[in-house]
Structure 1
């Protein structure tokens, strides 16, 4: 019976393999910490959810309630959604012929008030959503403010038939 000898090359390859596995976890931990570190003092997010479109390839909608408590006046200027190629704040309105959706300009955040992004009102449209993003998962949303700060939060991904 032959015994297997551990050569210096085999030992080195084993160390590299184990180190890279640990490195992948460290990279994932750093990414989670980076997302968590993008928090703006005075902003709270509640009731967040991403609703996938009933037809694959169509935009998804993101809804949430944003409460701002701060001294400096700021506006909600932009948004991005992990897993979507682009995202924008839209609003529903009337054009005389029924409902109409349009892109929204910056939204003023007033201290102590809650801005609701909800069905039938202001909401986030996430375009070209990755097919890898499925109901039951979660994704990160990052909002950008006029003062240059960004606030990230996690949201559940839901199917089109789930309660909005």
Structure 2
């Protein structure tokens, strides 16, 4: 589980891109800056980074996100956040609990998780011969490891399907 604040959407593209298996709206804020301030505060209680190795290793364990949302909201109710508009003037950051508490489950096409948790890298003169076993977020999963496609921007590659 990790904390992240995204724009309003039923299923956030960011959730999918980062490989989230479950998501729940927590807050509504009026600016990206406000989201960053609150996300930074919440990261004291919950990490804001995902371990990619753990994410591509197996199915995630279920966490009661509604209970976690309520815990976050309880922490936030005790806190006042300010926006520094000038050196002498501060205005309070406004946030509201998200009205929707619908749990979103995101499923990815995964036949099997990698046997070895290893980062595979592409280079202009390399080839990877391996079996594609799934996709999770921005990762292509192979039997021997995973490729973070986002980190490969600028490279062209092709995938070839071979009969077994």
- TM interval, short-chain normalised: under 0.3
More strand by share: 1
Higher helix proportion (structure 1 or 2): 2
Give TM-score, length-normalised by structure 1.
Answer: 0.22
Taking structure 2 as the reference length, the TM-score comes to: 0.22
